[in-house]
A = this chain, B = another copy of it.
Amino acid sequence: MRATLLTAPHEISITEVDFPTVQNPGDAVVTITATCVCGSDLWNYRGIRQIAQPQLTGHEFCGVVTEVGDEVTTVKVGDFVVSPFNTSCGECAHCLAGMHSSCAHKEVFAMGCQTEAVRVPYADGTLVATPEPPAPELIPSLLACSDVMATGWHAAVSAGVREGSTVAVVGDGAVGLCGVLAARQLGASRIIAMSRHADRQALAREFGATDVIEERGAEGAARVLELTDGVGADAVIEAVGTIEALQQAGACARPGATIGYVGVPVGVELALDPFFRRNIGLRGGMAPVRAYLPLLMDLVLTGKINPGKVFDMTLPLDQVAEGYAAMDERRAIKVLLEP
């Protein structure tokens, strides 16, 4: 079958690999209906993070179960399932505490998911099936629950967004936009999206943003203070991961607020003093997607959220190189791939 291989910065191509099979009694094999390109895939693509050898890529997918091991009980052949970006056993202390992204038996999909089928270890603790086959138009939104929607949700939950909150959102990529959607669902009454791209501003408003600020850094924070009578935001979502974005998030926050940060802070060393002086908390990290997945899938299936709108480009898997290029060049927010 076809799979996506990164061989060097900006060198993405289709390669042939064996169709996966069940190896252990807890495995399932999922034939992929839709997969996609993640902002974090771009680190390797851009050479920011060096790869030691050619790498099979991708970690987001949904699809149909085509084989299960003898011990699998919660999904069966024919089920439509969504997978988090890592496996989880569902039984260790971390999974039981809802921290599936730190599962003691965590595995990443080393064979990549921008492909036709995936072997899923710990299928019972990892996959979530829909009650019935979903309507085709729901596929993008279900796929988004595999990572970006769950990550935006994690940011909002980590930031302590609740009924009536004023929330600032730093970052207008797919995760930041899903953070807007999450904040709305969690009852925020005011959501200030920080974005300077018209298409993303429009989607932010559609997802529930009440205000859009184009300024960045100290200027952006000053605008948030202006909009909040000098107080600052009750909660801040940070979905970029750079030191500038974290500082901007801190400056937007009111004293005592928490930043829910989900942008991977690669190499960031943060001066804590300004956060300490104003009691600005920092919570977040790799989202425990599995913990949120049943709720998020239900919100999608009942039409309450439509995070699939972050996919503004859909390509056949064979054109994966164009998908990476479009995201790299910011021609697309997020690219869906159909095998």
A197 interfacial contact with B, CB 8 Å: no
Q: In the complex, which of the residues B230, B275, B281, B285 contacts A276, with contact meaning CB atoms closer than 8 Å? A: B285
Nearest CB in chain B: distance from A153 CB, A: 14
Tell whether, in the assembled complex, residue A265 and residue B272 are in contact, meaning their CB atoms are under 8 Å apart.
Answer: yes
Tell whether, in the assembled complex, residue B279 and residue A102 are in contact, meaning their CB atoms are under 8 Å apart.
Answer: yes
Q: In the complex, which of the residues B102, B278, B280 contacts A278, with contact meaning CB atoms closer than 8 Å? A: B102
With A281-B158, A281-B284 known as contacts, the answer to whether A270 contacts B269 (CB < 8 A) is yes
How many copies of this chain does one complex carry? 2
Which residues from chain B contact A268 at a C-beta distance below 8 Å?
271-273
Tell whether, in the assembled complex, residue A231 and residue B93 are in contact, meaning their CB atoms are under 8 Å apart.
Answer: yes
Q: Chain A's interface: helix, strand, loop or mixed, by majority?
A: mixed
Which residues from chain B contact A94 at a C-beta distance below 8 Å?
231, 254-256
Tell whether, in the assembled complex, residue A269 and residue B271 are in contact, meaning their CB atoms are under 8 Å apart.
Answer: yes
What 0/1 readout, one digit per residue, does chain A (238-277) give for beta carbons within 8 Å of chain B? 0000000010000000111010010011111111110111
Number of residues of chain A lying within 8 A (CB) of chain B: 40
Q: In the complex, which of the residues B98, B271, B283 contacts A283, with contact meaning CB atoms closer than 8 Å? A: B283
Q: Give A266 to B265 CA distance when docked, in angstroms.
A: 22
A97 interfacial contact with B, CB 8 Å: yes
A288 interfacial contact with B, CB 8 Å: yes
Tell whether, in the assembled complex, residue B271 and residue A276 are in contact, meaning their CB atoms are under 8 Å apart.
Answer: no
Q: Give A302 to B217 CA distance when docked, in angstroms.
A: 49
Tell whether, in the assembled complex, residue B272 and residue A98 are in contact, meaning their CB atoms are under 8 Å apart.
Answer: no
Tell whether, in the assembled complex, residue A279 and residue B286 are in contact, meaning their CB atoms are under 8 Å apart.
Answer: yes
Which residues from chain B contact A18 at a C-beta distance below 8 Å?
none
Q: In the complex, which of the residues B158, B273, B281, B283 contacts A266, with contact meaning CB atoms closer than 8 Å? A: B273
A282 interfacial contact with B, CB 8 Å: yes
Q: In the complex, which of the residues B98, B256, B267, B273 contacts A102, with contact meaning CB atoms closer than 8 Å? A: B256
Which residues from chain B contact A301 at a C-beta distance below 8 Å?
none
Nearest CB in chain B: distance from A73 CB, A: 26
A229 interfacial contact with B, CB 8 Å: yes
Nearest CB in chain B: distance from A171 CB, A: 15
Nearest CB in chain B: distance from A315 CB, A: 31
A99 interfacial contact with B, CB 8 Å: yes
Q: Give A230 to B93 CA distance when docked, in angstroms.
A: 9
**In the complex, which residues 179-194 of chain A have their Cβ closer than 8 Å to any Cβ of chain B?**
none
Tell whether, in the assembled complex, residue B99 and residue A256 are in contact, meaning their CB atoms are under 8 Å apart.
Answer: yes
Nearest CB in chain B: distance from A200 CB, A: 24
Tell whether, in the assembled complex, residue B281 and residue A286 are in contact, meaning their CB atoms are under 8 Å apart.
Answer: no
Nearest CB in chain B: distance from A246 CB, A: 8
Q: Give A265 to B270 CA distance when docked, in angstroms.
A: 11
A101 interfacial contact with B, CB 8 Å: yes
Tell whether, in the assembled complex, residue B97 and residue A254 are in contact, meaning their CB atoms are under 8 Å apart.
Answer: yes
Q: Give A93 to B102 CA distance when docked, in angstroms.
A: 38
Tell whether, in the assembled complex, residue A280 and residue B269 are in contact, meaning their CB atoms are under 8 Å apart.
Answer: no
Which residues from chain B contact A270 at a C-beta distance below 8 Å?
269-270, 272
Q: Give A286 to B264 CA distance when docked, in angstroms.
A: 27
* A→B interface (CB under 8 Å): 93-94, 97-99, 101-102, 158, 229-231, 246, 254-256, 258, 261, 264-273, 275-286, 288
Closest 10 pairs between A and B when the two form their complex, measured CB to CB? A102-B255, A281-B283, A279-B285, A265-B272, A99-B256, A269-B269, A99-B255, A276-B285, A93-B231, A282-B282
